[in-house]
Amino acid sequence: MSFQIKNFEEYQDAYKRSVDNPEQFWGEIADNFFWKRKWNNVLNWNFTEPNIKWFDGGKLNITENCLDRHIYKNGDTPAIIWEPNDPSEAHRILTYKQLLAKVEQFANVLKNNNVKKGDRVCIYLPMVPELVIAVLACARIGAIHSVVFGGFSAQSIADRINDAECKLVITSDGGFRGTKVLELKSIVDDALMQCQSVEKVIVLTRTRTPISMIKGRDVWWEDEIKKVETQGNPACPAEEMDSEDTLFILYTSGSTGKPKGVVHTTAGYMVYTGYTFANTFQYKPGEVYFCTADIGWITGHSYIVYGPLSQGATSLMFEGIPTFPDAGRYWDIVDKYKVNIIYTAPTAIRSLMAFGDSYVDNKDLSSLRVLGSVGEPINEEAWNWYNEKIGKGKCPIADTWWQTENGGHLITPIAGVTPQVPGYAMLPLPGVQPCLMDENGNEIEGNDVSGNLCIKFPWPGMLRTTWGDHERCRQTYFATYKDMYFTGDGCYRSPEGYYRITGRVDDVLNVSGHRIGTAEVENAINMHADVVESAIVGYPHPVKGQGIYAYVIANHHIDAEKTRQDILQTVTRLIGAIAKPDIIQFVTDLPKTRSGKIMRRILRKVAEGELSSLGDTSTLQDPTVVEAIIEGSKEFK
Ligand code: ATP
Ligand code: MG
């Protein structure tokens, strides 16, 4: 990993080189990968259309970089360690050699089922090693994968299959999640009633849930593997891909609206995920790295599969949930496999924190060296708990800010190399040129300023388009500010030049002329000892323009009126009277996406009283939460 930055001076030097001469900078990094043919140009771009090409003219296959090239020296190194949902079931380890063999075998299964380069394949599987195998097998033959999180409904799957016109679906009879069995195949059957494009379904055995197999359409994974075995030659040479050939489509979480089919291409994505994985986490050969995300999210694509494997790392994947059999499960896993790096989300940290320290205190976490966070701003209380209880005050925390559209980390501390401050994503990685923009389209210079976060210059991992709708891509990301990629997030740059994400721009409130970030107010409310979690939205207010509406999950035993007063005091003390919520509604749960993010747009509608236009709710974890919140809101009307 010759491109690993080792200290702050090296970071500053790399950053400067990446801005002064981006093409030379990324060209040198790309030289660390395996190419069948080298590129002609490192970068061609304009943000107007937009049209972005990295390493144009290059030929490669990402699976040769993730698998084949490690075989000679590190073939027996574990590539994937798999921890099952039920801790009493045996775990599995696939070395690089074994993983390559399985990927080639399944790539041949895909070929036997008439999948060709450029075809779209929908993967709807639980978190089992076959999910990684299926993803890489697609990449091996140049098919485009579209992974759909194994918790989504039939309607969400159908929408995604139809949008991408997938030809084949890979699923399993069922999936284990905690005490539940998800009936994946039966959900796929429901989805496919609405899908014309699907010709075949490959079904993996996992739960032995009774299912129906449709003649001519559905085949068993295991039977197909046997066919390949009897065919003799198990090898499957890697398809030669152009740098800009599409690698996959992945739909965003839908926190802000209808999910977008983000398109990532081969070479830039590979280089960027490899570079950021090695740097952000400072991975050292031999270490065990555990990312708790599902592969159905970009975090799983980039930081369970492609980033770690391209760097020859050992990537631990977990089938279950953090609270089964109890709230100590992550820490049991850390202890069992002597995990060195853990990468998780604030929503998980907060929920585990609420169970109390007894689930942590009796675990041996001494192997941990680096902690990561992703998905939303991490509030200070959660950051401190993570730091003290999990990291024992000795593990750097990488609060990685990035998006599905970005492919990999954009702004984050580099663990132990660049400085960290709780709640701050800190400094851009080399190659990333952030800027803050005002409402009039002007860049806000200097420090101690807030604005809309944009990126001025392309980085290799960025999206190229939204599937089937390039205009939507242009409109969403490149039309708000001229020649800029607009992130949709608000951001503060501190006097030291450190970046702090303050929430979605749509969520920044304007209260009596003051701009107030939702994250800031939530952070203050969450400081209250009896508060588990909170969400802030604005609503029309006759005097202030916008009023602040707080939805708060509090401990059960509280006296509501007293806690209300205490929360108001806490906010006044931490931010100022201007940020005091006008309404505090206690709730038992918040509407969250399947990736655990609060859907503020729904809360906003409830606060505004616009109940008839809640928008796309297909990616909600639990739709009944919304009904309860609407019911509770009547008190304030
Ligand atoms: P959609 O785009 O469909 O509304 P989404 O934005 O939730 O869905 P993702 O790409 O999964 O989909 O999430 C990216 C967003 O998550 C960022 O724009 C940001 O708001 C938030 N985010 C992610 N990581 C961090 C972080 N470390 N700090 C602050 N915010 C973060
Ligand atoms: Mg988004």
Same domain, 70 and 214: yes
pLDDT on residue 294: 96
Average pLDDT over residues 72-79: 96
Number of domains making up the chain:
2
- The single-letter code of the amino acid at 217 is R
Range with lowest mean pLDDT among 172-186, 465-479, 524-538: 524-538
Higher pLDDT, 354 or 178: 178
> What pLDDT is attached to residue 1?
61
Task: State the CB neighbour count (10 A cutoff) for residue 109.
Answer: 23
Cα 523 to middle of ligand 2, angstroms? 21
- How much of the chain is in helix, strand and coil states, percent to nearest 5? 35, 25, 40
Closest ligand 1 atom to the C-alpha of 255?
Answer: 4
Residue 572 class from Cβ within 10 Å (0-12 exposed, 13-18 middle, 19+ buried)? middle
Ligand 1 atom nearest 619 alpha carbon: 3
**Atom of ligand 1 lying closest to residue 258 CA:** 3
CATH code where residue 97 lies: 3.40.50.12780
Name the residue with the closest Cα to ligand 1, atom 19: 376
Q: Which of 159, 344, 401 to mutate to test the pocket of ligand 1 (most atoms within 8 A of CB)?
A: 401
Model confidence band, residue 254 (pLDDT cutoffs 50, 70, 90): confident
* Residue 229 sits in the same domain as residue 342: yes
pLDDT of 399 reads 98
Of 311, 504, 507, the C-alpha closest to 408 is: 311
How confident is the model at residue 561, as a pLDDT?
92
In 3D, which of 392, 291, 295, 305 has the Cα closest to residue 339? Answer: 291
With a cut of 90, say whether residue 233 has pLDDT above it. no
Q: Are residue 443 and residue 540 in the same domain, yes or no?
A: no
Could you give the CA distance from residue 127 to residue 147 in angstroms, rounded to a whole number? 11
**The pLDDT of residue 594:** 86
Residues 473 and 591 in one domain: no
Question: What pLDDT is recorded for position 619?
Answer: 84
From residue 159, give the alpha-carbon distance in Å to each of 170, 190, 300, 412, 464.
16, 12, 21, 33, 21
- The model's pTM is 0.94
- Are 503 and 490 within 8 A, CB to CB? yes
Judged against a pLDDT cut of 90, whether residue 621 lies above it is answered with no
Among residues 490, 525, 560, the one where a domain terminates is 490
Element (H, E) at 220: strand 218-220
Residue 583 sits in a domain whose CATH number is 3.30.300.30
Per-residue pLDDT tens for 316-365?
999 999 999 999 999 999 999 999 999 999 989 988 998 999 999 999 99
Same domain, 539 and 422: no
Distance between Cα 439 and ligand 2 center (Å): 19
- Decide which of 490, 523, 549 is a domain's last residue: 490
Tell whether 192 and 106 lie within a shared domain.
yes
Percentage of the residues of the chain whose pLDDT score is greater than 90: 86
Range of the domain at 466: 8-490
Q: Please report which confidence band the pLDDT of residue 636 belongs to, taking 50, 70 and 90 as the band edges.
A: confident
Block residue for tokens 């923009």: 437
Spatial distance between the Cα atoms of 289 and 287, rounded to a whole number of angstroms: 6
Tens digits of residue pLDDT in 552-568: 999 888 898 999 999 99
Looking at the structure, tell me whether residues 520 and 435 fall in a common domain: no
| Residues 29 and 138 grouped into a single domain | yes
Per the domain annotation, does 31 fall within a domain?
yes
Of 264, 312, 304, the C-alpha closest to 128 is 304
| Residue 32 Cα to ligand 1 middle (Å) | 30
| Arithmetic mean of pLDDT, 571-579 | 90
Query: Can you give the pLDDT at residue 259?
Result: 87
Residue 502 lies in a domain: no
Counting ligands in written order, which one lies closest to the CA of residue 254? 1
User: Is the CB of residue 95 less than 8 Å from the CB of residue 77?
Assistant: yes
One domain for residues 520 and 468: no
Domain boundary among 490, 520, 538: 490
Interface predicted TM-score (ipTM): 0.99
**In terms of domains, do 570 and 423 share one?**
no
Q: Does any domain span residue 500?
A: no
Residue 497 falls within a domain, yes or no? no
Q: What is the pLDDT of residues 446-476, one digit of tens each?
A: 999 999 999 999 999 999 999 999 999 999 9
Model confidence over 262-297: pLDDT tens digits?
A: 999 999 999 999 999 999 999 999 999 999 999 999
Q: Within 6 Å (CB) of ligand 1, which residues are found?
A: 252-257, 259-260, 374-377, 399-401, 403-404, 425, 487-489, 501, 504, 595, 597
Kindly give the pairing relationship between strand 241-242 and strand 246-251. Answer: unpaired
| Predicted local distance difference test score (pLDDT) of residue 584 | 96
- What pLDDT, on the 0 to 100 scale, is given for residue 362? 94
Q: Is 274 exposed, middle or buried (0-12, 13-18, 19+ CB in 10 A)?
A: buried
pLDDT tens digits, 4-39: 999 999 999 999 999 999 999 999 999 999 999 999
Do the bridges between strand 246-251 and strand 583-586 make them parallel or antiparallel, or are there none, so unpaired?
Answer: unpaired
Distance CA 609, CA 592 (A): 19
